[in-house]
């Protein structure tokens, strides 16, 4: 028997989310079991089963950390936009170029 990880999705807009795992002899029986273990109250509209040994992950997940400054990848890097807008409008007014 194998361990299968179970993923379910609520609607068309949602991503699949992990919701647990089952022990089953094959994927077909695993699906039948997972359906009752994890969707018997209709918690999702879609169901995926993935054999655990087919899932890969980093042995050292510290690799996923962002070590140095990457603020430019995030919206907060641009939070002073209002101030900058005012400054730019001011400059345009000085030039007398706005109506």
Cβ nearer to other proteins, comparing 36 with 60: 60
User: Considering the complex, what minimum distance in angstroms separates the CB of residue 87 from other proteins?
Assistant: 5
User: Considering the complex, what minimum distance in angstroms separates the CB of residue 83 from other proteins?
Assistant: 9
Cβ nearer to other proteins, comparing 55 with 88: 88
User: Considering the complex, what minimum distance in angstroms separates the CB of residue 82 from other proteins?
Assistant: 10
| Nearest CA-CA partner of 8 in 32, 54, 39, 51 | 39
Q: How far apart are CA 30 and CA 49, in angstroms?
A: 7
Cβ-contact 23, 51 below 8 angstroms: no
Calculate the CA 15 to chain-centre distance.
7
Q: How far apart are CA 9 and CA 39, in angstroms?
A: 10
- Which residue, chain included where needed, has tokens 């994890």? 38
User: Considering the complex, what minimum distance in angstroms separates the CB of residue 9 from other proteins?
Assistant: 10
Q: Which residues bind other proteins (CB under 8 A)?
A: 12-13, 15, 46, 62-63, 65, 67-70, 72-75, 77-78, 81, 84-85, 87-93, 95, 97-99
């Amino acid at each position: 028997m194998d361990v299968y990880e179970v993923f379910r999705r609520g609607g068309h807009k949602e991503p699949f989310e992990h919701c647990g795992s089952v022990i089953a002899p094959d994927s077909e029986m695993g699906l039948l079991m997972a359906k009752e273990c994890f969707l018997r109250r209709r918690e999702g509209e879609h169901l995926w089963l993935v054999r655990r040994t087919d899932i890969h992950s980093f042995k050292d997940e510290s690799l996923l950390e962002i070590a140095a400054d990457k603020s430019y990848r995030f919206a907060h890097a641009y939070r002073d936009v209002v101030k900058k807008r005012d400054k730019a409008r001011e400059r345009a007014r000085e030039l007398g170029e706005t109506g």
